[in-house]
Amino acid sequence: MPDTHTRFGSSSGQPATRRDGLAKVTGAATFAADNRPEGMLHAVYVPAAIARGRVAHLDVERARAHPGVVRVMTPADHPALAGDPDDKPTRFSFRIEVLQDDTVRYAGQPIALVLAETIEAATEGARLLSPRYEAEAPRTGLDDNAPFDVEEPGFGAPGETVHGDPEAGHAAAIHAVEVTYETPPQYHNAMETHAVVAEWDGDRLTLDTPSQALAMSCAAYAHLFGIPAENVVLRSPYLGGGFGSKAIPSGPMVLAILAAQEAGRPVKLMLTRRQMFGPVGHRGATRQTLRLGCDADGRLTVIDHETLAATSSFEMFLESASNASQGLYAAGALRSAHQGVRLDVGTPGPMRAPGEASGSAALECAMDELAHAAGIDPLDFRLRNYAETEPGTGRPYSSKALRDCYDRGAEAFGWSGRPMAPATMRDPDGTRIGWGMGTAFFPSPMFAAEARATLRADGSAMVETAGADMGQGAWTALAQIAADGLGLPLDRVEFRSGVSTLPDGGVAGGSGHTATAGGALHAAGGDAIRRLGELAAEQPDSPLFGAGNAGFEAREGRVHVAGDAGRGDAFADILARAGMSELVGSGRASRPDADTRDYAMNSHGAVFAEVAVDPDLCQIRVRRLVGAFAAGRIINPRLAESQLMGGMIWGLSFALHEEARHDPRTGRIVNSDLAEYRVPVNADVQGLQVLTVHEDDTHVNALGIKGVGEIGITGSVGAIANAVWHATGRRVRRFPIRIEDLLAPA
């Protein structure tokens, strides 16, 4: 429907401030744990303090005796779930731990739950359970168990992809590198820990819980509790961050709902920060081996990318890092392969740019290493391997302004002044300076969504879809799209979302929410306008009388004959003549299979980094980080820039900060808090610059939207790591890069 593009520009493309901004700066925004229904109990669960073994004893009597404690649930004593927690009722389901037995499969697994009148009593009750264990030797490192091959590729189970003849590519290489990079376990750590307030009314369940996938979560909970999905009302008006961790129901949430059912009272459970390291997903550790070769002119003959990725002992989710090497560089041959290793850790899951972040980190460093081996500038090396069509498949890109990103990013950064040799740039005080770059790359998937648009008698409108705003700005960007779909100013559109009773808004993931839910909203607006136009065409008093076959457009609250702005009628007048108080349109969006088959669809970008390394202490500071991104149509530049910057800072975090470390004796994570699990603070961030390059993309979807939520991490990790090498001459192949890596003798 390319004609709809003509309506864009009034709201879409404008840097509107956040519609929920006022609520968020005044404290009025109600997050899940802010709810406190009458009669509510508090739940606190006990996380396992070992990673493998069984719970031998819990002092249930002492916990029960604590004033205020009303119930202690243990593996030996808990109400039954209607559904099997090992079932997979939805496409993105995992097996969950809900006190099925006394086995401990990872540190942090829930092993008991205490319900009490106050949070203080529940916390103390949980402490008094004083668990004793029979522990077995935990396996938490990538070498602690034998690798396995992926037998059936699928969600969380990436297989092997080969294009061309990798062996021939290796044989033909004049310059080659074979390098192994390691990435650590990382934990999402949204500022809002996972929380639920659950309230039952007979067989009806109301949940206040943050969700990136409302309809899917309802389906999962309905299955577990043996009720129809429509009996579950999930309210998620605000999410305090998600990053992939709040799409899939977890054991603690289910236990709290179960406790509420049995108690006959509402129950609140909010994870402690320490409990975020275990049952609610993480980015699994990887070890990636890349073998790259190029000819004498620097043209890649092969990219061969193997990943060993950790998963839990009982479930499958492998960080699909090797897939990052598909679809980007024009190599003569491509091979991406994965193996898994089962460890005594919580099940990994999707974490912002799952697979792409880890894979891009290693790939962009390996590209830098090969560029150096071939004596070619890293940016020039990438340009020599620029893919005009998708490598391997030959499919055209739906759009690809990556060359512009390279150009604009390099110019803004001043890349042309970079000396080729490492360890040559210094400040007058001796500080070592390095410049590095990386290509950013992320697919542009779509899910499926539905929406409703209601035109009202006063000429305003209400639009509805059960979407999720976890900070990306969905409430604002989606409302802008909806306003354009209806031809109304933004302030005439009421936007309702974040509750499961509305039309299914799909999943806020894969950077596809704006495209998907936005597409549905736009279609719903178009449907409402069409109905309104057809209504007017039947009204003798309307200027649109008899225009039924002409097609309609809407602008500024009026319906026009398509292409004839002079012949129109006001929404309110049409409805008044018809005696209608409102008119409803509906829409849906998903990507046609043919488009998925025929085009490669991705966002692209280029990131340039400057780091400063203290000559004595080897402290690493990122001084500048410049990213240029092409991601189709940008609906709201203010919010898109924030998203992209956030992603780039996640890249900085990946490169220099984040790592969960296990105690090899107990298998526990020793830094499971925000003091020791390091994420960037304000003082770590300076010199950030984001440029966006517009793309008109008529294939990716009707709105031309690609998504910006995740791409910022990709490219950034490699750019920073490559800059550290350029500053010091030291190539560190293990993330995060630490001071001690640079202090150690070469």
Partner 1 sequence: MSLSITLTLNGTERRIALDDARVTLLDLLRERLDLTGTKKGCDRGQCGACTVLVDGRRTNSCLTLAATLDGARVTTIEGLARGDALHPVQQAFIDNDGFQCGYCTPGQIMSAVGLIAEGTAGDDPERIREGMSGNICRCAAYHGITLAVAQAARRMDNDPAGDAA
Residues that bind partner 1 (CB under 8 A): 17-18, 20-31, 33-34, 36, 118-121, 124, 189-193, 238-243, 270, 272-273, 470-473, 638-639, 641-643, 645-646, 649-650, 653, 673-675, 679-686, 688
> Which residues neighbour 596 within 8 Å (Cβ) at sequence distance 6 or greater?
none
- CA-CA distances (angstroms) from residue 205 to 202, 267, 472? 8, 12, 28
Residue among 306, 309, 304 nearest 294 (CA)? 304
Write down the least CB distance from residue 12 to partner 1, Å: 17
In the bound state with partner 1, the residue whose beta carbon lies nearer, of 73 and 239, is 239
Half-sphere exposure of residue 139: CA atoms within 13 angstroms, side-chain side: 15
Question: Is residue 710 annotated as a catalytic residue, yes or no?
Answer: yes
**Token digits of residue 210:** 């943050």
Distance CA 545, CA 708 (A): 44
**Token digits of residue 143:** 């070498």
Residue among 501, 498, 497 nearest 204 (CA)? 501
In the bound state with partner 1, the residue whose beta carbon lies nearer, of 25 and 743, is 25
Write down the least CB distance from residue 18 to partner 1, Å: 7
Distance CA 156, CA 149 (A): 13
Write down the least CB distance from residue 638 to partner 1, Å: 5
In the bound state with partner 1, the residue whose beta carbon lies nearer, of 350 and 525, is 350
Distance CA 293, CA 367 (A): 10
Write down the least CB distance from residue 659 to partner 1, Å: 16
In the bound state with partner 1, the residue whose beta carbon lies nearer, of 88 and 638, is 638
Q: Do the beta carbons of residue 586 and residue 424 sit within 8 Å?
A: no
353: left (phi over 0), alpha (psi -120 to 50) or beta: left
Write down the least CB distance from residue 17 to partner 1, Å: 5
Write down the least CB distance from residue 187 to partner 1, Å: 11
The kind and range of the H/E element at 226 are none
In the bound state with partner 1, the residue whose beta carbon lies nearer, of 549 and 682, is 682
In the bound state with partner 1, the residue whose beta carbon lies nearer, of 457 and 645, is 645
Distance CA 96, CA 91 (A): 15
In the bound state with partner 1, the residue whose beta carbon lies nearer, of 208 and 484, is 208
Write down the least CB distance from residue 681 to partner 1, Å: 4
Q: Do the beta carbons of residue 690 and residue 505 sit within 8 Å?
A: no
What is the DSSP annotation of 587-642? EEE---HHHHHH-B-EEEEEEEEEEEE-TTT--EEEEEEEEEEE-B--S-HHHHHH
Residue 542's SS3 state is coil
Write down the least CB distance from residue 189 to partner 1, Å: 6
List, in sequence order, every residue forming a beta bridge with 132; answer none if it has no partner: 57
In the bound state with partner 1, the residue whose beta carbon lies nearer, of 252 and 473, is 473
Distance CA 99, CA 102 (A): 7
DSSP character at residue 499:
B
Half-sphere exposure of residue 620: CA atoms within 13 angstroms, side-chain side: 31
In the bound state with partner 1, the residue whose beta carbon lies nearer, of 40 and 363, is 40
Distance CA 715, CA 738 (A): 19
Using alpha carbons only, how large is the chain's radius of gyration in Å? 27
Q: Do the beta carbons of residue 9 and residue 481 sit within 8 Å?
A: no
Write down the least CB distance from residue 264 to partner 1, Å: 21
Write down the least CB distance from residue 21 to partner 1, Å: 4
In the bound state with partner 1, the residue whose beta carbon lies nearer, of 33 and 215, is 33
Distance CA 743, CA 740 (A): 5
Cβ-in-10-Å burial (0-12, 13-18, 19+) of 595 comes to middle
Q: Which of 306, 356, 610, 710 is catalytic?
A: 710
**Token digits of residue 12:** 């879409």
Distance CA 59, CA 74 (A): 10
Residue 536's SS3 state is helix
Catalytic residue annotation: 710
